[in-house]
Amino acid sequence: MLQTTSRMCYLICNVANTTGVIAGSFPLQSYYFTGVSARFKTTRIHRPASNFVFNNWEQMMSPETLQAGLARLKDSVKKRRDDLAEHLQKKERISNADSAWFDNQANHLDEDTLIDTLDNVSDFERGMSCLNSKQKGLYQTLNALGVAGSVSNKRKTASAEEGGDDREEDTELKPSRKEALQAAATLGQYIAHLDSPFARRMEVVLSSFGHETRREEAQTMVETNITDYFKCT
């Protein structure tokens, strides 16, 4: 009974490990039942560096994710290299670590080689199993960058969709002073033919509106050489 239960636990752990539920170096609880009591031991399963846990297993194992990660890496390397080059051109000091990186590691040749290697294999997952320890480390970096970029893009898209209406309201143009005065003139022409106390009061309001609007416009005008010339004359 003990051996049967142990074997079942081992199979369950293997299934979980294969489907991506467990990865890396992760503690597993294997239970052994003896009557009504139970005892357990903790084991550690070491998985290849390629089998990391993600919400979408197929997506994170895809070459497209690695390509996206490589693109982000190139952008990051270029920005850092350009920044250090600017400091050096200004005769400014940089740290020893930055100097060593700039002289030896300011490139992505190893990552390009990894991508080419995986692109040339017929089976992507089988190609992953043939990578050496250094290449697996590069894979982890590119995969993490690709995943992070995918999540960031999804959040930006969701934020843009949620805030779309607000942006449209913010960018809506209000009528200019000229358009407002033209509308007031049109309304004045209309009520000029009306014979009622209301029309006369409206004429007074429109006249006051026109004077006030023109006064505000004059206050916002910037003096130029031309206006100074007419002031002197």
Dist. CA 80–CA 52, nearest whole Å? 28
Q: Residue 16: which of 3, 5, 27 has the closest Cα? A: 27
Is 101 found in the same domain as 131? yes
- State the residue for tokens 């990660």: 69
CA angle in degrees (0–180, nearest 5) for 79-85-90:
130
Domains: count for the chain: 3
For residue 154, tell me if it sits in a domain: yes
Burial of 224 (0-12, 13-18, 19+ CB in 10 A): exposed
Rounded to an integer, what distance in angstroms lies between the CA atom of residue 144 and that of residue 66? 9
Same domain assignment for residues 82 and 150: yes
Query: Domain boundary at 10, 25, 46, which?
Result: 46
Both 34 and 91 in one domain: the answer is no
Contacts of 1 (CB under 8 A, 6+ apart): 33
| Ranges of the chain with pLDDT below 70 | 1-62, 105-106, 121-122, 124-125, 147-172, 220-233
pTM: 0.36
Quote the CA–CA distance of 197 and 209 in Å, as a whole number: 19
- Does some domain include residue 130? yes
* Residue 149 near residue 68 (C-beta atoms within 8 A): yes
Quick one: pLDDT at residue 29? 38
Q: Does residue 97 lie within any of the structural domains?
A: yes
pLDDT over 70 percentage in the chain? 51
Residues 95 and 20 in one domain: no
Domain boundary among 128, 158, 188: 158
Domain identity same for 70 and 93: yes
Q: How many angstroms separate the CA atoms of 190 and 133, rounded?
A: 85
Among 98, 129, 158, identify where a domain stops.
158
> Is 88 found in the same domain as 132?
yes
Residues 94 and 134 in one domain: yes
Query: Are 187 and 118 in a shared domain?
Result: no
Residue 36 shares a structural domain with residue 77: no
218 falls within a domain: no
C-alpha to C-alpha distance for 67 and 81, rounded to whole angstroms: 21
Range of the domain at 131: 59-158
pLDDT for the residue numbered 225:
57
Pair (130, 97) in one structural domain: yes
Residue 224 domain-assigned (yes or no):
no
Beta strand segments in 35-169, E: 37-46
* Domain membership flag for residue 220: no
CB 40 within 8 A of CB 30: yes
Residue 174's pLDDT is 76
In a domain, 152, yes or no: yes
161 vs 59: CA distance, rounded Å: 24
Q: Are residues 63 and 127 in the same domain?
A: yes
Assess whether 120 and 151 both reside in one domain. Answer: yes
By three-state DSSP, how is residue 31 classified? Answer: strand
Residue 19 lies in a domain: yes
**Structure tokens, 60:** 């994170």
Measured CA to CA, the distance from residue 166 to residue 147 in angstroms comes to: 30
pLDDT of 149: 60
